[in-house]
Amino acid sequence: MLTAFICEKSRLHAVSLPDDTTLAAAAWIDLRNPTADEALRASLATGFVTPTQASVSEIESSSRLATRDGAVYLTMPMINRTEEGPRGVAAGFVLSPDRLLTVRFAPSTIFDTFIAHVTTEDTSSSTSSHILVGLLEAIVDRQADALEQVGHELDTISHRIFAMGVKQAGGRKREDATLRITLGQIGRLGDLISHIRDTLVGAGRIGPYLESAATWLPADMRPRLRTLQSDIASLSDFDTHLNDKLQFLLDATLGFISIAQNNVMKVMTIASVVGIPPVLVVGIYGMNFKNMPEYNWAFGYQYGLGMILLTALIPLLVFRWRKWI
């Protein structure tokens, strides 16, 4: 999909099916899952080399940050949330003094929200640099919101996990189900935190590179880029804190699972130990030798039952006395 944005009266106007004249005059050209024809039209209108999906997915710094023919080529990882969970996608940016080209290969709520904002509200300036910095600010702001949500979810998980240690969870089966669900939630949040960290690292590299490579950058953009860097640094620290808390909750969950398994093994061990003496008694009196005196006793059967019960009770009393159960 090819969309051009024209600046008119301090506001950007979106043109969904732009002609070549509109493309040539556009301050911002946005490509979403572009076809070969759309990518070619954007290249002819701007003189840029339109980034491909393979090029924006490169992880080397030299591939993510480059300058060619007076234009700055930037790529950074972003997050695409699907029903299966967060997925990492890459976005490409090409910036020159008079226009901005963005390329993305998946839907993005951040882009959609930013487009709705810049096309419905007046802006003090709608140059290519202002658009890019505003978009980066929107991306970082969205990551901040996501980290806040992750923090709230981790607090909820923490309360649920440690409540299991001080009160009954409603039975062994319910506790096992809770632990399985908790493990799944922790894994999902860990995946999301990892993607957020990648996005913050990518955004953090763009600011300093723009200040050094784009000498034509407007003077009022540099303070905004420094503020953006400060925000990214604080979010990175918070991301590290959440990752540490996530690891702590994972260890705690695995610890409760280990305790539950140990309890099961303890019950099985006690049952096997308690059952050994009665089996020995039954084995002795089941030999059926004629010279066994107990066979002639009037209450031999009752005596045998009593021995079985007594030999089963004695180990239980010993375990109770030693506070093993």
Give CATH for domain 2-261.
Answer: 3.30.460.20
What pLDDT band is residue 233 in, cutting at 50, 70 and 90?
very high
212 φ/ψ angles, rounded to the nearest 5 degrees: -90, -35
What pLDDT band is residue 109 in, cutting at 50, 70 and 90?
confident
Highest mean pLDDT among 73-87, 104-118, 188-202: 188-202
What pLDDT band is residue 20 in, cutting at 50, 70 and 90?
confident
* Per-residue confidence (pLDDT) for residue 277, from 0 to 100: 87
Give the pLDDT confidence of 262-280 residue by residue, as tens digits.
Answer: 877 888 888 888 888 888 8
**159 CB neighbour count, 10 Å cutoff:** 9
How far is CA 99 from each of CA 123, 124, 287, rounded to the nearest angstrom?
16, 17, 99
> Which DSSP symbol is given to 52?
P
Sheet strands side by side (includes 2-8): 11-15, 2-8, 28-32, 100-104, 85-95, 71-82, 65-68
Segment 141-145 shows an average pLDDT of 91
* Percent of the chain at pLDDT exceeding 90: 11
Q: Is 136 exposed, middle or buried (0-12, 13-18, 19+ CB in 10 A)?
A: buried
Highest mean pLDDT among 104-118, 233-247, 307-321: 233-247
Kindly tell me if the per-residue pLDDT of 122 is higher than 70: no
Q: Which of 321, 65, 78 is nearest to 210 (CA)?
A: 65
For CATH 3.30.460.20, the residue range(s) in the chain are 2-261
Q: What is the CA radius of gyration of the chain?
A: 34
Segment 219-235 shows an average pLDDT of 89
> What's the number of CA atoms in the CB half-sphere (13 Å) around residue 51?
33
Segment 69-74 shows an average pLDDT of 86
What token pair was written down for 156?
A: 């909820």
State the pairing for strand pair 85-95/11-15: unpaired
* Per-residue confidence (pLDDT) for residue 242, from 0 to 100: 92
Q: Which of 253, 271, 275 is nearest to 263 (CA)?
A: 271
How far is CA 239 from each of CA 182, 225, 254, rounded to the nearest angstrom?
20, 20, 22
**106 CB neighbour count, 10 Å cutoff:** 17
